[in-house]
Amino acid sequence: MHTTASLFVVKPIMLTLMADDIINITKSSIPFESRLPFHVEYGKKFNQYIYPIAVHSYAAVVAHSFATVVADALYYTLIQHACGMFSIIGNVLENIGKNDTDQLDAKSDKIKDDNYYKTLHCLRRHLDVIEFAEHIESVYTKIFLINLNFNMIMGSLYGIQMLINLDKNVNDIVAPISMYFGQLIHLFLHFWQGQFLLDYSILPYESICRTNWYYTSQRCRKLLLLMMYRTIIPCKITAGKLMILSIDNFGMVVKTSLSYLVSFYTMMI
């Protein structure tokens, strides 16, 4: 996001600084509108307040970039925290029964059954992490639905703008290219974190399969079996309850976006 914002801001600055060398015109002949990162409308007072308007425009680009980074960083942190908790639970489960290979007592005393209490603790923590992941999904599902549709449509429009200006001045395609790839990478990171949650949420199931469950008591095995039933259904992040955020679905979204791009471009030509 910072790279995209930087390219978006640098374009008008470079156009102003390198005007004499590249396009063989004086800097004073460049309209003030082209020195701003995006088009603005201020009427007849535009030239009178050009410098405050320029400061506001550049600050808006930087503020938008930082706001997006902060919002996404919170989402990434929540996902990584949930994945870390699944990993911790899986590590504890995998080591259950490994120190009891010499003594097997399927009907041991409940008070002395350390494996049972470890498994019970993991079961409770596992339910807490599942609830935490469900809260993440409920918070972001509607946002991702809007963001997904917006990215596909706007990405296609930026692609059309890039193709239209491809044979023209190179300066006219810097902003569309930066915005197109910026949105693509932004969307990929959302799906990538969703894939993390899918992979790590089934980690306790794999850990139970690797544990020495046959050296534990019957009550402990029942808890392990109960956790295995629940971990068969992975935790997921969806876009409006319609699409699961995963790497496979990201490829489908990119194909759909490219098909929109081709359709819009053929309609325009």
Query: Residue 39 pLDDT > 90, yes or no?
Result: no
Q: What gap in Å lies between CA 187 and CA 193, rounded to an integer?
A: 10
The confidence band for 109, taking pLDDT boundaries of 50, 70 and 90, is low
Q: What are the C-alpha distances in Å from 97 to residues 73, 110, 124? A: 39, 15, 19
Q: Which of 1-15, 70-84, 87-101, 131-145 has the lowest mean pLDDT?
A: 1-15
Q: Could you read off the pLDDT of 175-187 as tens digits, one per residue?
A: 677 777 878 888 8
Q: What gap in Å lies between CA 65 and CA 262, rounded to an integer?
A: 29
The confidence band for 104, taking pLDDT boundaries of 50, 70 and 90, is low
Give the pair of three-digit tokens for residue 14. Answer: 């470079």
pLDDT given at position 196: 93
Q: Could you read off the pLDDT of 220-264 as tens digits, one per residue?
A: 888 889 888 888 888 999 998 888 999 999 988 888 777 777 776
Q: Which residue has the higher pLDDT, 48 or 88?
A: 88
Q: Which residue has the higher pLDDT, 261 or 104?
A: 261
Query: Residue 29 pLDDT > 50, yes or no?
Result: no
Helix ranges (DSSP H) in the chain: 2-17, 19-22, 50-94, 114-164, 171-201, 203-210, 218-231, 247-268
pLDDT given at position 103: 58
**DSSP secondary structure string for all residues of 24-71:** ---GGGS-GGGGSSS----GGGTTTTHHHHHHHHHHHHHHHHHHHHHH
pLDDT given at position 91: 92
Q: What gap in Å lies between CA 8 and CA 22, rounded to an integer?
A: 19
pLDDT given at position 82: 94
The confidence band for 137, taking pLDDT boundaries of 50, 70 and 90, is very high
In sign, the C-alpha dihedral spanning 40, 42, 48, 54 is: negative
**Surface-to-core class of residue 125, CB atoms within 10 Å of its CB (0-12 exposed, 13-18 middle, 19+ buried):** middle
The confidence band for 268, taking pLDDT boundaries of 50, 70 and 90, is low
pLDDT given at position 195: 93
The confidence band for 55, taking pLDDT boundaries of 50, 70 and 90, is confident
pLDDT given at position 199: 92
